[in-house]
Chain A
Amino acid sequence: MHRKLLALLAAVVALSTCTTARADDLQRVIQSAQTKVVKIFGAGGLRQMEAYQTGILISPDGHVLTALSYVLDTDDLAVILHDGRKFQAEFVGSDPFTELALLKLPVEGEQLLHFQLEQRSAALALPGQRILALSNLYGIATGDEAVSVLQGVITAIAPLKARRGAYQANYRGDVYVLDAYANNPGAAGGALVDGQGKLLGVLGKELRSEVTGTWLNYALPVKGIASTIDDLLSGRVDTTQLELAEPEDALTMEKLGFSLVPDVLPRTPPYIDALRRESPAQRAGLQTDDLVVFVAGEPIDSHRSVVQRLGKIESFEPVAISVLRDGQLREFSLVLPAIVEDKPTDDSNETDSDGQEP
């Protein structure tokens, strides 16, 4: 009898701990995350320039991380917590590369609940993983209401190649692409969390993907922005990253010794039109009528992209060029001679488009 009782007791204990640990998991996670997301009201109000956005608490003393935007461009910046408490926030600093800004709430003698940046050292979450996006999209939450929650999955992890009109995103690192409509007006600065409520990323501004041409839902991963946040918290803001390293002496088609058919269309197919005798291109084995499809490992879709891609490579670097010839993909490695002696000054020794025999 004794053993039976013990066993039963064990069973009951096991059952009860399990069930309580799992009950209302999602609701609890959401409620906890919502207390760490704030509503920001500032400048704007004109058409398509909403005067609000979202921020997340990242310290117990009231540091709020948000997106750098015109909304912050005012002396009267109001931050409202989930419980309706209103603060006039102080602008601490911003980083033009990630386009993040740090605000400080005048909090004294209180420890605010806040997100931990623990995912900075973890591997990125994988496509297909379920996520929650918390933000004040469309400014729906105004007073003592919690921000809105959207659920979805991570669609992809891909470099941010996106723009809005003429404006192009500075951040080109990997972002979480989402299948929830997370990036609507006012959502920038919101939180992307996993099923346990851990902060995965910060929702970005509204942008169109250059890859698909469609509006993008995305978040900057904690891993990619953690050091920027450290800098902002410590008052160090490094703007040198903005200057992208351009090659001093970039490669050109002329240096490699080939030319493409004239660029007459927005997407002119990059067929090789002519090759200079004894040039790196000819010696490597390129032929006229080859269609260039990769330069230095990057896909090429037009004449223009060949020029652009070569312009990013120093002339002393070897470059791999892949071409389509008779339906077959062929790769060639081109390298400029260490010292260019007599650089040809005219086109007299350039072969015509029919043949490339010396």
Chain B
Amino acid sequence: MIRAGTISLALVTWFQATWVCAEPTLAEREQLALNEATASVADSVVQIRTVGGLDRVGRKLLSQGPTTGLIVSADGYIVSSAFHFAGRPSSILVQLASGEQLAAELVSRDKNRMLVLLKIAAGHDLPVPIATPRDDIRVGQWAVALGRTFQSDQVGVSVGIVSALNRKYGRVLQTDANCSVANYGGPLVDVAGRVLGVLVPMSPESGGGAADSELAGAEYYDSGIGFAVPLEHVFGVLQRWRQGEDLLAGKLGIGLASGNAHLTSPKIVSVWPDSPAAKAGWKAKDLITTVNGVQVETQAQLRFQIMPLYAGDSVNVVLQRGDEQLDTEVLLTGKLAPYRHAFLGILPARNPSEADPPGVVVRHVWPESPADKSGVVAGDRITQLKATKTAATTDARVVLAGLHPGAEMSLQVVRDDETLSLSAILSSTPEDIPTTWH
């Protein structure tokens, strides 16, 4: 018994040894795994060519070569980077991995993540890749960036790792694989052959706000800093996106105090008239404390909660107003009405002294202005606008900043020790120069 046992043990050892010998090296195994991961997604990667359109946007020369896209639905929806469509091309052609050429139309744009959605009518089901669940993505894991720019019959490959998650205020993940025109719009693939995200250029420096163009960040190509919008997110918004309406960054319509966003508290300085914030009843001096159940203590933390959201998204915000906690629901908008100054028509006294009683002393009244029409005269001391006490000029400015031309505003003025209640309908800033001052 003992003898048989030892022999079989020895055989096992021998088999293990030969197995170890036949086993490829770590480098070979990694190569094999990366090749397999690439192959499992390659058929979902398409080549995109555009015809016509601008050759430059601003001073940036656009690339003329083909670019890359990723199939996201079996019935022909393809996602790509907005970078390729900055030139507003007149026609779009898509070449599938099989070589089949099809005309494509641009369905809509995602202006918050710089993506576009295209549609082709292939007449047969297209291969849709699997998205890596966001919770499974780890910094340091393999990440393979694929493109179909250099060749139409083979995908271009660049290998790196996931460098960071939740970059650019929670909208993209970061990789050190080479990202450039050669693969913008293509997938960033994990070693299991699932798609982590869609590669897009984004400027690592800017806040990534609405001011960013489709081209921002492209100058960081192949730098070890690349970004990808999680595919899970793309799948999440696809139903809404394919309706054909552009996805816009969601805006609140508030002004915050200037200063270091990482240190300054999210205290509201001004609320844009008719903005989502105004409709939710927000007021200047309110402090934002919680967004969608997450506590925010700085302006940067507030941005992390708001920037990933789109116009049309609803967000729950808790405000601190004095000792009061206000629970509000805000429906974000894509476009704020252009801001127009509300005009009252007074010039406040220069250099008010501390010894003066509180209020804004009127030095001049603009003829035919709302103030003039309401009965304000030079020498009046304005002590209250709407429901706000105006101890100094800055208080009056805050009230006016929150009002539109056309809004009605009550005033309290002190004239010869008498308090008068007046009412003015604000106008827009006049363009004529008055001939006489009252």
Contact = CB atoms under 8 A, between A and B. Distances in A.
Interface of A: 3-4, 7-8, 10-12, 14-15, 17-18, 22, 25-26, 126-130, 152-158, 177, 179, 181, 195, 209-215, 217, 265-270, 291, 293-294, 299-302, 322, 324, 327-329
A7 B11 contact: yes
The 9 closest A-B pairs by CB, nearest first: A269-B52, A211-B65, A158-B150, A266-B55, A156-B150, A179-B158, A7-B10, A212-B181, A156-B156
Given A212-B180, A267-B52, A293-B93, A127 B156 contact: yes
B122 to A, nearest CB: 12
Given A211-B149, A214-B181, A266-B55, A127 B90 contact: no
Contacts of B63: 211-214
Nearest to B20: A18
Interface stretch (B27-35, B231-239, B356-364, B369-377): B27-35
A266 B53 CA distance: 9
B103 A14 contact: no
Contacts of B6: 4
Contacts of B144: 128
Contact of A22 (B25, B151, B157, B181): B25
Contact of B154 (A4, A156, A291): A156
Contacts of A26: 27
Contact of B64 (A11, A156, A301): A301
Interface of B: 3, 6-7, 10-11, 13-14, 16-18, 20-21, 25, 27-28, 31, 34-35, 38, 49-56, 61-66, 87, 90-91, 93, 101-103, 105, 121, 144, 149-151, 154-159, 177-178, 180-182, 221-222
Contacts of A128: 31, 34-35, 38, 144, 157, 159
25 contacts: A7-B10, A7-B14, A11-B13, A14-B20, A26-B27, A128-B38, A130-B27, A152-B159, A153-B159, A154-B157, A157-B150, A177-B150, A211-B150, A266-B54, A266-B56, A269-B91, A270-B52, A291-B52, A291-B91, A293-B91, A301-B64, A302-B52, A322-B101, A324-B93, A329-B93
A214 B102 contact: no
Contacts of B35: 126, 128
A12 B56 CA distance: 67
B177 A157 contact: no
Given A8-B13, A157-B150, A157-B151, 13 more contacts: A3-B7, A7-B7, A18-B17, A18-B21, A152-B158, A153-B159, A177-B182, A209-B182, A211-B182, A214-B180, A214-B181, A265-B52, A302-B51
Contacts of A177: 150, 156, 182
Identify the interface centre among A15, A128, A157, A299: most chain B CB within 10 Å of its CB: A128
Given A4-B7, A127-B154, A154-B157, A269 B14 contact: no
Contacts of A269: 51-53, 90-91
A179 B51 contact: no
Interface SS of chain A: mixed
Contacts of A212: 63, 65, 149, 180-182
Contacts of A7: 7, 10-11, 13-14
Given A128-B38, A213-B61, A267 B87 contact: yes
B151 A329 contact: no
A258 B101 CA distance: 24
Nearest to A153: B159
Given A4-B6, A14-B17, A210-B64, A329 B103 contact: yes
A1 to B, nearest CB: 8
B55 A267 contact: yes
Contacts of B3: 4
A14 B14 contact: yes
B157 A301 contact: no
B151 A129 contact: no
B261 to A, nearest CB: 32
A299 B49 contact: yes
Interface SS of chain B: mixed
B163 to A, nearest CB: 15
Contact of A17 (B21, B56, B102, B154): B21
A211 B177 CA distance: 19
B10 A4 contact: yes
Contacts of A25: 25, 27
Given A127-B156, A293-B91, A268 B52 contact: yes
A358 B260 CA distance: 73
A301 B38 CA distance: 29
A12 B13 CA distance: 9
A177 to B, nearest CB: 6
B429 to A, nearest CB: 41
B39 to A, nearest CB: 9
Contact of B103 (A157, A179, A209, A324): A324
Contacts of A3: 7
Contacts of B7: 3-4, 7
Nearest to B219: A214
A291 B25 CA distance: 53
B25 to A, nearest CB: 5
A199 B207 CA distance: 45
B103 A156 contact: no
A191 B141 CA distance: 29
B52 A301 contact: yes
A215 B105 CA distance: 31
Contacts of B28: 195
B83 to A, nearest CB: 11
Given A14-B18, A324-B91, A300 B51 contact: yes
A214 B182 contact: yes
Contacts of A217: 222
A128 B31 CA distance: 8
B416 to A, nearest CB: 71
Nearest to A5: B10
Identify the interface centre among A15, A18, A212, A214: most chain B CB within 10 Å of its CB: A212
A248 to B, nearest CB: 29
Contacts of A152: 158-159
Given A11-B13, A11-B14, A329 B51 contact: no
B31 A130 contact: yes
A153 B158 contact: yes
Contacts of B61: 213
Given A128-B34, A213-B181, A14 B10 contact: no
A291 B240 CA distance: 32
A154 B178 CA distance: 12
B46 to A, nearest CB: 14
A26 B28 CA distance: 12
B65 A15 contact: no
A300 B66 CA distance: 11
Nearest to B144: A128
Nearest to A325: B103
Contacts of A130: 27, 31
Contacts of A154: 157
